[in-house]
Amino acid sequence: MTVQTLHTAQPFSRDPDWWRGAVIYQIYPRSYQDSTGDGIGDLAGIVKRLPYIASLGVDAIWISPFFTSPMKDFGYDVSDYCDVDPMFGQLSDFDAVIETAHAHGVKVMIDLVLSHTSDQHPWFVESRKSHDNDKANWYVWADAKPDGTPPNNWLSIFGGSAWQWDAGRMQYFLHNFLTSQPDLNFHEPQVQEALLDVGRFWLERGVDGFRLDTINFYTHDAELRDNPALPVEARSAKTAPAVNPYNWQQHIYDKSRPENLNFLRKLRAVMQPYNAAAVGEVGDEQLGLEILGQYTAGDDLMHMCYAFELLSGDKPTAQYIKDVMDHVDEVATDGWACWAFSNHDVMRHPTRWNLTDDAQRMFTTLMMCLKGSACIYQGEELGLQEADVAFEDLQDPYGIAFWPEFKGRDGCRTPMVWENSNQNGGFSEADKTWLPVSTDHLGQSVAQSEADSGSIIHHYRHAIALRQAHEALKTGTCSPMSVDQGCLVFTRAGSDEELYCAFNLTDENAKLEVPRGNWQVIDSAVSHAVPQGGTLNLGPWQPCILQRKLT
């Protein structure tokens, strides 16, 4: 692999802090817009839809992997880090994405999956050939125990042992995900160098940042020690469904090893001259926020980490959100979180939390008022529910393995709906799309939503615009949160204003006392409640944002 140097439009002109408080729109490229008629979305499709994305007011897009891949995990199994899979187009199409996005003032983050490759990657093909080839040590190989069983008790998230036997080398190799996703050996310096080169390649091509897949999985314990079992009462299901025994272990040896920090530091140094930003995905049941704090401390590791706290579980209460934010304050004093309610791995949140339309709107406004950056997942702005995908149509191997107790991730990955009148909701002209377009989604297409002034897409635009208009929301301080009658209350402050933010997360009316001060109602499109003589009557699922100038 050679690192090509290209002339890029404006590689050094980025504000180094552009990512703080940014609103990032996540695109799952297979399901965004097909421009070739093969039933699979592609990069040219994204180019076509960039004006729409820009119209939402977001700062950046994060595009899930579009690199060459056998697509066993739909692109999260990469066989060439420096090329585009033909299904998605070619490098010149990616250049068009960058150029068009930048022309619309939108930054581009790409999803680097560095923890593992595909088993088709030439590195692995070579590595598995013998014990003494150049890349013999690039993956995690280990001998069987004397009884032939795997070297330790580590589990794959996608089911079964994390070790797969290779009859050629007569050894096991490690895979935290599918057997076709062998784990790279980060203890091998050449592996780290090769991966830093991947980063350089895309930075030179003009990307503004990276979403880094599973960053706490990079390094494993070189001694291959067994993970301890978790007591039953300590099990939780934040990153894997409850039916997955992966949740029964304390993952202290297979991930989140201290050596990770060395690589993250090197990667940050590579990104620094470009003012590019990284959001690292940290998946850990017990210590997710602690790791977030550790990885985003100071200014030589990750810029931000992507947290799972609002991505799973039951509908959050005000107390839950307060507890999460208090915890962040405690363990990530100078760190930075990136929040999301939905993504390509979890059930869409309106379904997961069984939200009414009002509640959906309130959560969106709340997200825009939280300290941190925010990711919106494609289709969320239309208020889409999780799609029902029949077993025969399933694509996700994770869902196929755990069906029907866990149906996998296809229900949040069905194609975007652009128009109701067109075939496949305007997503594709193919007879059959890779996942069926949900007929339940058709009535919420972009075209119909745009035409209906009462639809949620307009609320997303208002809520995003609110954040963009207030430095206090993007980069300001946040007071400790308080809970009153099930309402979440906090203030955000910037250099010249303070914002009072109150959210009623209940089905009941609440009566709150607004602290003294010359508060003004701002942005009535987002917040309708008006305090009367210091008392704020907040209806069910209603937000209220008030402003006072600091002079």
User: Whose Cβ is closer to ligand BGC: residue 77's or residue 498's?
Assistant: 77
Instruction: Report if residue 38 touches Mg ion, rule: CB under 5 A.
Output: yes
Helical pair 288-296 and 318-331, crossing angle rounded to 10 deg: 40
Looking at residue 459, its amino acid is: H
Within 8 A by CB and 6+ apart from 535, the residues are 511, 512, 513, 514
Residues in touch with ligand BGC (CB under 6 A): 73, 76, 113, 177, 213-214, 281, 344-345
Cβ 42 to Mg ion shortest distance, Å = 4
Count other C-beta atoms under 10 Å from residue 14's C-beta.
16
Of ligand BGC, Mg ion, none, which one does residue 73 interact with (CB within 5 to 8 Å by kind)? ligand BGC
Quote the tokens at residue 289.
């926020």
User: Whose Cβ is closer to ligand BGC: residue 180's or residue 504's?
Assistant: 180
Of Mg ion, ligand BGC, none, which one does residue 497 interact with (CB within 5 to 8 Å by kind)? none
Instruction: Report if residue 36 touches Mg ion, rule: CB under 5 A.
Output: yes
Instruction: Report if residue 155 touches Mg ion, rule: CB under 5 A.
Output: no
Cβ 428 to Mg ion shortest distance, Å = 7
Give residue 493's Cα distance to chain centre: 27
Of Mg ion, ligand BGC, none, which one does residue 42 interact with (CB within 5 to 8 Å by kind)? Mg ion
Instruction: Name which of 250, 267, 330, 356 is nearest 303 in CA terms.
Output: 267
* 474-506: burial string, b at 16+ Cβ within 10 Å, e else: bebebeebebeebbbbbbbbbeebbbbbbbbbb
Residue 433: how many CA atoms within 13 Å on its side-chain side?
28
Instruction: Name which of 303, 307, 306 is nearest 276 in CA terms.
Output: 303
Residue 281 annotated in active site: yes
CA–CA gap between residue 302 and residue 281 (Å, rounded):
10
Catalytic residue, candidates 59, 111, 281, 380: 281
Cβ 264 to Mg ion shortest distance, Å = 35
User: Whose Cβ is closer to ligand BGC: residue 57's or residue 65's?
Assistant: 65
User: Whose Cβ is closer to ligand BGC: residue 113's or residue 510's?
Assistant: 113
CA–CA gap between residue 542 and residue 287 (Å, rounded):
32
Paired strand residues for 504 = 487
User: Whose Cβ is closer to ligand BGC: residue 213's or residue 380's?
Assistant: 213
- Cis bond leading into 404, ω under 30°? yes
Within 8 A by CB and 6+ apart from 94, the residues are 43, 66, 84, 205
DSSP category for residue 104: T
CA–CA gap between residue 183 and residue 86 (Å, rounded):
25
Cβ 53 to ligand BGC shortest distance, Å = 20
Catalytic residue, candidates 85, 183, 213, 254: 213
Shortest Cβ contact with ligand BGC: which residue? Answer: 76
What 3-state class would DSSP assign to 199? helix
Of Mg ion, ligand BGC, none, which one does residue 213 interact with (CB within 5 to 8 Å by kind)? ligand BGC
User: Whose Cβ is closer to Mg ion: residue 38's or residue 221's?
Assistant: 38
Cβ 86 to Mg ion shortest distance, Å = 10
The residue count for binding Mg ion (CB under 5 A) is: 5
Residue 111 annotated in active site: no
Q: Residues, the chain, total?
A: 551
Select the span of 35-43, 62-70, 134-142, 216-224 touching Mg ion (CB under 5 A): 35-43
Cβ 297 to ligand BGC shortest distance, Å = 22
Active site residues: 213, 281
Site residues (CB under 5 A) for Mg ion?
Answer: 34, 36, 38, 40, 42
